[in-house]
Amino acid sequence: MSRDLLRRRAAAVPDGLSAATPLVVARAEGSELVDPEGRRYIDLASGIGAMNLGHGHPDLLAAAREQLERFTHVAAQVATYEGYVRLAEELGRLYPTAPGAARPATKTVLLSSGAEAVENAIKIARVATGREWIVAFANSFHGRTYAAMTATGKTKNSRFPFMRSTSPSVAHLPYPYPYRPLVEGSEEELVALHVRLFEQALDTHLAPEHVAAVIAEPVQGEGGFVVPPRSFFQRIKEVCERHGILFIADEVQTGFARTGRMFAMEHFGVTPDLLVTSKSLGGGFPLGAVTARAELFDALGKGSLGATFGGNPVACATALATIRVIERDGICARAERVGARTVERFRAMAERHASIGDVRGLGAMVAMELVADRRTKAPAAALYERVQAEAFRRGVVLVRAGLYSNVLRVLAPLTIPDALLETALDRIDEAIAAAS
C-alpha cells in the first residue's frame, strides 16, 4: 500500500514539493506515526514543529469535535464569533514582554499560515510607519509567499527558482552564528560586531527614516537552530527604538512552549512590536496570527486586512485548547526537560562521533551540526542524508535544517514519553555510527 501511494504521488504531485522521507502515514498517535503496513515510527519532526502537543491529544480533539457540531466556517469579515475574539484576547494576555515592562495593549488578526502572517506583519509595519524597507537576517526563513520569501535569508531551496521576482525593499544583514562566527571572540564581541554592522547599514545604504521594521526569528529554525547570544536582541531593539524602527518577532517555529517558554523572546528579555505565530498555535489545524501593539493596527483603514479562512472556528477552538493544555500541564517545564536530556545525549554522542561538530538549542529545540572535519568545520550534507536514511530504517523520522543542509534537528512532541525519547536517541546514535 505504501509503495502504491508513493507511485501515485510521483505521478500527481510536483517534485517541487518533496518529502523528507518515504513514509506513508495511515494514522498518528501521540509521538508516533504508523504506516499502512502497521510499522511504527517515532516522530521527531512534529509536522515541522506544528504538533508540540503530539498527535491526537484528547483535549484538542474534544475542542475540535465540539466546534464542528456548531459551525465550521463563516469568515470573520462576515460575522463575529467567540473563538476568534477569545483567541485574540489570549494572545494579548500571553504577549512576550521584557522583565519589569508593562504588557502593551494589543490587537490580533488571524490568518491561515505562518507565511501569510509574515506578509501581513510586513504590510502593517509599512503602513504604521509610513516607511518601506524591511531589514531581515542572513540564514533566516520566513515563508514561501513573495514578501516572506524575500525576507528569507537562505537562497536555496525556497528562493533560488524565484530570484527574479522577489519583492523589493528588503535588506539582509549577517546573523550571529556562534559556531561559525564572522570573527573569533567572546559572545559580547560577536554581538558588538553585529550591532555595528546594523548601525553601519543604517548609516550607508539604508536610511533609518526609510526602514519600517526589523524581522527576526529568536532562534533560526530552517537555518539550523542557530541561537544568538542573549544580549543580541536587546541591542538590536535599542537601535530600533532610537530610530523609530519596529521589531517583528517571527515565532512561527519557536512559539507555544517549544523553547521552554510560551514564546522564545522571553529568553531574550525583549518586547517585540509585532509578534508572528503559527504552526503549533493551531494544534494541527492551519492557523496564523499577527499580534501587535494596538496603535499599529489602528493606523490601518477599515477593511484593509482579511483572509477568507483566517481564524477558522475549528482552528480557533484547538488553539484555545492548546494554550489551556500548555499552561495546565506545565508543558514549558516539560520542554526544558526534553531539551536538556536531548542535549546531554547529543553531547555524549559527540564524544564518540567526530562528525558531530556542534550541539546547540534552546529548550526542546535542539540540533547537532554534522561536519566532515571538526577543525575546518566543513559541512557534511551527504552524511546527514545517510544518517536520516539509517534513522528511518530504525523507525525514527527526522528532518534536516541548516544553511548547508547538514543539521539534524529534533522537534519531538513536547509530550513524548521519556522511554520513547530515549529509544529515539539510541536509534540516532546507531544511525550516526552506521552512516559514518
- Domain CATH for 37: 3.90.1150.10
Q: Could you tell me if residue 66 is inside a domain?
A: no
Among 307, 328, 349, residue at a domain's last position: 328
- CATH code where residue 129 lies: 3.40.640.10
* pLDDT for the residue numbered 165: 57
pTM for this one? 0.96
Amino acid at 110: L
* pLDDT for the residue numbered 148: 86
* pLDDT for the residue numbered 147: 83
Judged on CB neighbours under 10 Å (0-12, 13-18, 19+), 401 is: buried
Do 94 and 223 sit in the same domain of this protein? yes
Q: Is the dihedral of CA 190, 148, 98, 201 positive or negative?
A: positive
Please give the residue range of the domain that contains residue 372. Answer: 2-56+330-435
* pLDDT for the residue numbered 346: 98
* pLDDT for the residue numbered 150: 84
Do 23 and 35 sit in the same domain of this protein? yes
Q: Which of 47, 23, 21, 20 lies closest to 37, judged by CA? A: 23
* pLDDT for the residue numbered 200: 97
Which three-class secondary structure state does DSSP give residue 402? coil
Do 255 and 403 sit in the same domain of this protein? no
Among 306, 328, 350, residue at a domain's last position: 328
Q: Are the CB atoms for 289 and 281 separated by under 8 Å?
A: yes
* pLDDT for the residue numbered 160: 59
Do 384 and 256 sit in the same domain of this protein? no
* pLDDT for the residue numbered 159: 57
Q: Are the CB atoms for 177 and 139 separated by under 8 Å?
A: yes
* pLDDT for the residue numbered 149: 83
Ranges in the chain, pLDDT < 70: 155-166
Looking at the structure of the chain, the number of domains it has is 2
Q: Could you tell me if residue 236 is inside a domain?
A: yes
Q: Could you tell me if residue 160 is inside a domain?
A: yes
C-alpha distance from residue 196 to each of 200, 201, 202, 264 (Å): 6, 8, 10, 24
